[in-house]
Structure 1
Amino acid sequence: MILGLTGGIATGKSTVSAVFREFDIPVIDADAIAHSVLAPGSDGVDQVWEAFGDRVFEAGKLNRKALGHIVFNDADELKRLTDITGPLISAAIKAAVSTYRRKHANLVVLDAPTLFEAGYAAKTNEIMVVKISAAQQLQRLMARDDLSEDQAESRIKSQLPLQNKIEKADVVIDNSGSVETTRVQVVKWLDKMGFIKTPAEDSAG
């Protein structure tokens, strides 16, 4: 089974991913893959240079902050970037899924902030969305990435609205409370789906 894990930026997907990893469930991190496809010397970086020029490079190295400032404030520039990175990320995800299938993994989690936007949702069996309030999302993003309110709002607006994702979800995890409260929700889902056994089930068996 492939579970698509998504939410809005800074809503707490990493918190939920950590619970899956706690139970040795493989997680494919699309953000990490997106970072790797723009690693120094990669084909992705060469394509970014051709598309954006030296305005996003400093001393020959990609300035990710400068690139982010450009693409999160201009839909056309964001599309230009995703046209480069999208196929590279998709190929890497496909390879990772194939690897876990060969290992006969019962559950693989695809952690992707753009699960719907990039078309990955169609490749999953169920979708889990992590939610928090709009105010929490804004504050957490500002604190996490050291952004102004305007910058944070621009990044949030560059994604599909969180409510739209919630409406398409098979399961919703509320991450507005404590980490433990979030963990309990994920463990309950894993238990219900039969991917883990509760202590009571272990003793009964």
Structure 2
Amino acid sequence: MIIGITGGIASGKSTLSSLLKTHGFPVYDSDLEARRLQNEHPAIVSQTKALFGDDIYVDGQLNRPAVAALVFQNPELLRKLTDIVHPVVKADFLQWTKQFNPNQLIFIESAVLFEANFDGLVDKVILLTVSEEIRIQRVMERDGSTKEQVLARIKNQIPDTEKIPKSDLVILTDQGLPDDVLHLIISWQDRIIP
């Protein structure tokens, strides 16, 4: 069974994924894998260079801050970039899942689970949600971003209010992950696995 972990920026996705990994659950980090593929996958590299110019790669590595500065101010550029990257990440994820027993509980962490239509690949969805004020504060502290930069990133994501009806478990993380979150997921797992 495949469980999607999603939520807006700074909602606690990576914290939950780390906790799950610590307890032996396999977790595919779509953001991490997308970064790897953006540097290694020939089709992504060539299409990204065609979109932004050859100098968007420095010493074989995508200049992510330069890309972010361009795409978060230009929704059309962001859409073009995601159209390049998401299909390759999807294929990579599906290949990754083949190593596991179909009855085994595995997870995919993706900030853009719904935006990238990855929700069609999962059996259930866990949504982590956080108030906008705390989200902004967390990102500013974590990344050194300005409030305006954070708001521009938030604007490019589907609001939690639209994700809640599509989710099977919603966890509020304003105070961090609940102490019993692992127990919550395990007991939830017991109820959903046929």
Length-normalised TM-score, structure 2? 0.90
Q: CA RMSD in A?
A: 1.9
Is 1:12 aligned with 2:8?
A: no
Is 1:77 aligned with 2:73?
A: no
Say if 1:19 and 1:183, in contact at 8 Å, map to a contact too: no
Alignment counterpart, residue 183 of structure 2, candidates 162, 182, 187: 187
In structure 1, the residue corresponding to 2:185 is in which secondary structure?
Answer: helix
Gaps in structure 1 of 5+ consecutive residues: 196-205
Gaps in structure 2 of 5+ consecutive residues: none
Alignment of 1:50-199 (within 5 A): 50-54=50-54, 56-58=56-58, 61-101=61-101, 106-179=104-177, 182-194=178-190
CA distance in 2, matches of 1:53, 1:97: 34
Map of 1:25 onto structure 2: 25
Alignment coverage as a number of residue pairs: 191
Opposite residue 148 of structure 2, the aligned amino acid is: D
Length-normalised TM-score, structure 1? 0.85
Cα shift at 1:61: 4.2
Opposite residue 193 of structure 1, the aligned amino acid is: Q
Task: String of CA shifts for 1:83-104, please: whole Å, max 9, x gaps.
Answer: 1111111110110112223xx5
Structure showing greater radius of gyration is 1
Instruction: Report % sequence identity.
Output: 31
Map of 1:199 onto structure 2: none
Change (3 A) 1:60 1:115: closer
| 168-177 vs 58-67, greater mean Cα deviation | 58-67
Change (3 A) 1:73 1:20: same
- Structure 1 segments (4+ residues) deviating >3 Å: 40-43, 57-61
